[in-house]
Structure 1
């Protein structure tokens, strides 16, 4: 078969870094879109409208698809993953011009995706954790993430003056220090990702969760630690890039750089998947009603009790035991969890408050 003119498709057979890059990104991108799809399906099952964090993570997945297409073109047309001398021999100087142009676009896509993933997770925190301190810290980190994206985007876009000097090395103008730019961006990303991971920990560790939810939460945190570790490894790779062999070194950098945002898309979606998982597998193990605040939480032990009368509604009181008679308990079991009280009942206070005895108004009420 004749060699395609102007491409390096023929070299894909021995381009191991290029093939590994394609394989890893294909699998993770498919998993990311599956997670986003299940997330949006969960919203539909819950009959809730999309929130901004849903739109942001969907935008991140779409932009990541665009970057994936750029990566395919870089490998197939520009020989990313091969040593520069082989690219020069097969594709000539034009291959390096295309390579620099596409790398320039891919870097802009990448920093935008990272910011969208971070802000989507932080926006989810705002809806999930209502403590004032956590909310203020979340707004602060959200501002830092946005500021980092603006700085990285424009520093990358105008790294050279004029920008065309990025791909036309012979053009008049000047460029900045590429290694310093990439290292500073990677270090800032590691710090922010670590802070985002730790931000809700003081609240989460005091929550009372069912065993399955504890396991799922632990896996999410492990995934977050992996993302931070991968970002740290990227710093080392950035510092060791050989400017004389850009096509080979860029493949290693791209292989590591793509994993963090793709895993981030998956991790951000995981907390919202229980309704879809329940629908698919018929299990409510991740939707347990046992979830709640821990016993040392200020609101622990308080359950809202409403007594329907003609004129009033009783306020919240600290209850721990609702003890129906044996017959009522049997009826509740037959009613599949719906407790229907048809006779006497008693409520014992957790804090030595007066016992609530039966009341003719309360008979026949439903909890």
Structure 2
């Protein structure tokens, strides 16, 4: 078995791919990987991780507290770690955030420190696309800092480093109903003798899965309503995969909107957003009190029914922050709809109030994409190590 450690695990979207695989359009256990432990600082996310992966040790602590002594005290054997996975906090790099080169932006250094302790043969490092355009305090590209820091670990007294491979993967190319581009760095220790070079997984879908494919079986809701009952059978192969044997519908509750927001939502057609509303106001087709003075152009946006979703974030139920209005219903997405679009199965548990749940969903690597990464990792080990 390939021995894995997950850092900055969140709720476990990336771990999912190293614990489950798809067989006959069902998620089944994958015995090719052994996840030794995971680390997550956020309490709600850590509790949710443990609910879903009860067999994995969860270290719910600041990663800066984790060192060899800490692990030894917990009797966690980290000899011969094969793979480290994870993505440090990405808000500082996000193109929709403040893009500050702050302490969160420098958490890749903690990831690097853990590499010096665990000495894995490989690592997977995931982050937002904005990492490619962020600059450090000297004005140099942060991505260059990150990659070069992984190439040499001599400052920790180690005589090894990693050859780093870089790629941008879009989740919609791997069976996820969402356009979600993320930067992936894969490192392979330079001192290993290889028969084949690392190759990122190739796209598997010529026809993308749509929002309709993902959520059209979920019950109709209005502002403030919710239900824990399915009202129809799965209508697509993807819905069948997501439903599995789940009988109780979880986290399908609509937000409550004021009268102004209700009018804005009702006025937005499929695919339109803030500029469309303001255009109607300027043309005096809508009252002037509906004019939207703040937010990006994709805010107050309605998704397309027959296209993949745009990127899901922790604001997946907040129209003023994101394109997240349901294509056919006058409300924002529910947490469960966001989870479906992220490819979390319906039996996956989230913990905490709605804002915490949405963060757990929006910050995750889509589980189905993780499965494809895990398959490529397994093939690489089989051919080389």
| Normalised TM-score (structure 1) | 0.22
Higher strand share: 2
| Normalised TM-score (structure 2) | 0.21
